[in-house]
Chain A
Amino acid sequence: MERDPEISIRLFSDPHLLSTIRSTVEGLAKAVGFAEKSRGLLMLAIDEALANVIRHGYDGRTDEMIWVHLWRVREPRGIRIIIEDLGRSVAPEKIKGRDLSDVKPGGLGVHIIKETMNESCWEQRPEGGMRLTLVKWLSPEELQNVTPTKPENTFP
């Protein structure tokens, strides 16, 4: 049975709330042991995922619901994030990053998510909307810097 998320946040689809989520993710990522650059990439990935929900799932409406669930993962050590919404449902195979050689504004979010995360999986929820599962593990260098005997470094 899957354990409950360590942090769950329900937020409105308001872009002004994204900075709050970024701060939360950065704090948890720091506790797990991610270095500054990895934390920056993680913040970018979750920000892009939420922006896509607002922009494409909810057509920019700011009063719809988004749920963000966060877990620290022990083996391999990292972070797991699930983002759920009740917006427009899209076939996962249609979610693709664009060709970066075509230099133009926009359409970079999916590329950023896939490049940053070790796992990224979009699913259509049976009750409507989408579920995005994101996983990122510590790099071998980051793992070396984690001291397992410290209480803050042990978790379920």
Chain B
Amino acid sequence: MNQELVIEQKIIGDMIVLRPAGDIDMARSSAIRKAVTEAVRTRPAKLAIDLTAVGYMDSSGIATMIEALQSSMRNKMKFFLVGVGPKVRVAFEITKLIGMFTICDTVEDAAK
């Protein structure tokens, strides 16, 4: 059975980066949702979720990313997804939502 989702947070300039590690599924998406809510509350200019260490994401994870995007837009923040690997990309592609997001290869690209 998987461990709970571990989420690192770091600040790069005017950007908050959340870096979850593990699978984002029904059991664990609430942890990233909570971290996003807390990050948005501080009103950074940019919010990035680094998915490099995420090996799997289900529709509850996709829903959380949509919430994060919409919450960022409401608060006039820029929102980025970083490091979307093939196993995570498949969930965005099948739900035809990949085009909604600004996707960067690295955190440094998002920070530019």
The interface of chain A, by Cβ under 8 A from chain B, is 14-20, 22, 36-37, 40-41, 43-44, 47-48, 51, 54-55, 100, 103-106, 108-109, 111-112, 115-116
Contacts and interface: CB of A to CB of B under 8 A. Distances in A.
Contacts, number: 73
B14 interface: no
A103 B66 contact: yes
A19 B25 contact: yes
B64 interface: yes
B40 interface: no
Interface stretch (B45-53, B88-96, B103-111): B88-96
Interface of B: 1-2, 23, 25-27, 56, 58-60, 62-64, 66-67, 86-87, 90-91, 94-97, 100
15 contacts: A15-B27, A17-B1, A19-B25, A20-B1, A22-B56, A51-B25, A51-B60, A54-B26, A103-B66, A104-B66, A105-B67, A106-B59, A106-B63, A108-B63, A111-B95
